[in-house]
Amino acid sequence: MSRALKASEPILVAGARGLVGSAIVRRLRADGFQNLLVPERSELDLADKAAVDSYFKAHRPSYVFLAAAKVGGIFANDTFPAEFIHGNLVIQNNVIEVSQQHEVRKLAFLGSSCIYPRLAPQPIKEEYLLSGPLEPTNEWYAVAKIAGIKMCQAYRRQYGFNAISLMPTNLYGPNDNFDLKNSHVLPAMIRKFHEAKVSGANHVVVWGTGTPRREFLHVDDLADAAVFLLQHYDDEDIINVGVGEDISIGDLARLVADVVGFDGEIVFDTSKPDGTPRKLLDVTRLHSVGWRARISLREGVVETYRWYVSQLESQGVSRGVWSAGIHKTVHHASQI
């Protein structure tokens, strides 16, 4: 049942400093919501259940966006599997259970498309969950997110707790992580190509063969969808949040190079893992509820690169000048 949020109602955004959480905060504020609870870790450690309980007692949130998570790319997941499974389980368990105990009206749990089987039929429908083996390079994170989904469903069935689970595709945008050791593919590319342009390098190395295909959703679109679904979606079944179109890693690299203005060679290191061959979400359910993505891939990459450069400049780092390539038109329809 749809329910319009009231501007006066307290809304907790768990993980408000991260990529997803900060975008949700921007969206809510743009829509006129001012009673937002956005605690920093120094104020609230989500891994400490007693602290979470005390915070809820003091602030009484009516709604919760559970966007806090330990995230990273292939390298990070493969290197720190214990941290990825334990850290995410603890955060989810604490926030979901305390939300139910304190009678939060509704909770939106932010999952990930990595919950689906590695070789799931494409595009991936919500019912493919648990129908096959996971991608080994991120199964620890995926298992934690699946547990979060099942916890939301269990608390709904046993206690009548109104929790929904949103499964976003690959995300990018302002406040992303650009650390080459633990970032996702798109921000890593932006940094690599930018630094190569500034240093005058003649090539950039990209992991894998370049053939896997990925779908990318700007985080501001996800935030818009999350706020929309909190008001218009009330089913225990998970719901995919994506664009409905994908692009090969090779074409993505060429798009990023063009936006950044890097004219050198792109070298694919085939000794490195590709990950899942393809990951495109079926967004039929999302469209049927009444929401569609609006930010094109090129538009989003341009905006994200602008944000990245502005951060470097604000830190007093000289990183070269803008390339005229940022104003070029889109070369392929598949990149929209």
* pLDDT tens digits for range 150-189: 999 999 999 999 999 999 999 999 999 898 877 788 999 9
Residues 6+ away with beta carbon under 8 Å from 231: 2, 3, 4, 5
In a domain, 283, yes or no: no
**Residue 42 sits in the same domain as residue 24:** yes
Amino acid at 129: L
Q: Which of 141, 155, 172, 233 is catalytic?
A: 141
DSSP designation for 164: E
Q: In this structure, is residue 291 part of a structural domain?
A: no
Whether 182 has a binding-site annotation, put simply, is no
Which pLDDT tens digit goes with each residue over 43-80?
Answer: 999 999 999 999 999 999 999 999 999 887 677 788 88
> 281 to each of 1, 158, 220, 240, 248, how far by Cα in Å?
25, 30, 18, 7, 15
CATH number of the domain bearing residue 126? 3.40.50.720
274 is an annotated ligand-binding site residue? yes
Supply 29's token pair.
């504020």
Residue type present at position 175: N
**Residue 1 within any structural domain of the chain:** no
Report the distance separating Cα 193 and Cα 107, nearest Å: 39
Question: What is 172-219 written as a DSSP string?
Answer: E-TT----TTT--HHHHHHHHHHHHHHHT-SEEEEES-S--EE-EEEH
Question: Based on the domain organization, do 266 and 124 belong to the same domain?
Answer: no
Give yes or no for a cis peptide into 123 (omega within 30° of 0): yes
Question: What's the pLDDT at 2?
Answer: 54
Asked, for residue 287, whether it belongs to a domain, the answer is no
Whole-number Å distance between alpha carbons of 301 and 193: 13
Q: Does a structural domain hold residue 33?
A: yes
Q: Are residues 28 and 164 both part of a single domain?
A: yes
d(CA 164, CA 156): 9
Query: Does one domain contain both 199 and 105?
Result: no
Domain that includes residue 205, residue range: 185-213+246-278+296-335
| pLDDT at 328 (0 to 100) | 35
What pLDDT does residue 275 have?
77
Residue 250 lies in a domain: yes
**Rounded to whole angstroms, how far apart are CA atoms 271 and 205?**
12
**Is the residue at 4 inside a domain?**
no
Q: Are residues 222 and 129 in the same domain?
A: yes
Annotation-wise, does 162 bind a ligand?
Answer: no
Clarify whether residues 146 and 261 are in a common domain.
no
Spans in the chain with pLDDT lower than 70: 1-3, 73, 317-336
In a domain, 327, yes or no: yes
Let me know if 116 is a catalytic residue. no
Tell whether 170 is in a known binding site: yes
Give the DSSP H or E segment for 240.
strand 239-241
Q: Do residues 235 and 308 share a domain?
A: no
Instruction: Tell me: is residue 275 an annotated ligand-binding position.
Output: no
Strands lying side by side in the sheet with 278-279: 247-248, 213-214, 278-279
Q: Which residue has the tokens 């809304």?
A: 11
CATH number of domain containing 273: 3.90.25.10
Does residue 132 contact residue 119 with C-beta atoms inside 8 Å?
A: yes
Amino acid 333: pLDDT = 26
Specify whether 125 is located in the same domain as 196.
Answer: no
User: Is the domain of 205 the same as that of 158?
Assistant: no
Give the pTM: 0.90
Q: Is residue 214 annotated as involved in ligand binding?
A: yes
86 and 43 part of one domain: yes
Are both 207 and 272 inside the same structural domain? Answer: yes
**Number of structural domains found in the chain:** 2
Q: 41 and 88 share a domain? A: yes
CB of 258 closer than 8 Å to CB of 198:
no
Query: Nearest 10 degrees: CA dihedral of 151, 2, 30, 52?
Result: -30
CA-based max dimension of the chain: 60
